[in-house]
Amino acid sequence: MRRISSLLLALALAGFAPILAAREAYPPQAAQAQSGRIAWNQLDASTRDILAPLRPQWNRMSPEHQQHMLRRARHWSQLPPDQRQRIRERIARWQHMSPQERREARRNHQRYEHMSPQQRKALHRAYQRFQSLPPAKREALRRKWHQMSPEQRSQWVQDHAPPPHGG
């Protein structure tokens, strides 16, 4: 339970839980990518708009990575404009992460994928509580969290365990 609580807080603090999306089929233009890379200027305008934060490195991405991002862009293109904007912001944030931060995010995503539905619900509630805090308090909590040792983080999670849902 301690590991789950630590993971819940870490994911909530990182803000990655809401970006987890279902896998989609490849868009039509991905057929070309199956045999090689697609140049940025070969993407349609709506796809370029969605993937704009990736433009600087798009032509250097592996065909597999391009296909993955095209698959995601297809899903994202069906979302309302405000959600598409949040996705663009998250892509840009990812681009500015260090390799260590990216590894940690991937590891947290893998942990999330292996959670039970109950654990995911608990994580979602923890994330909602965190997001309901005033921005200054969230930032102070982030700073405090990053300054803690792993042992201190574990203790903090134990001391601040969320109440059971409904009580």
Residue 152 three-state SS: helix
pLDDT of residue 41: 93
pLDDT of residue 60: 92
Q: Among residues 91, 70, 56, 81, which one has the least CA distance to residue 23? A: 70
Q: Among residues 46, 104, 103, which one has the least CA distance to residue 78? A: 46
Number of CB atoms found within 10 A of residue 4's CB: 16
Cα separation, 164 vs 151, whole angstroms: 24
pLDDT of residue 40: 95
- The domain ranges of the chain are 2-159
pLDDT at 55 over 70: yes
pLDDT single digits (tens) 92-147: 898 899 999 999 999 988 988 998 998 888 888 888 988 999 999 999 988 998 89
Give the whole-number percent of the chain exceeding pLDDT 70.
Answer: 75
Report phi then psi at 159, rounded to 5: -70, -25
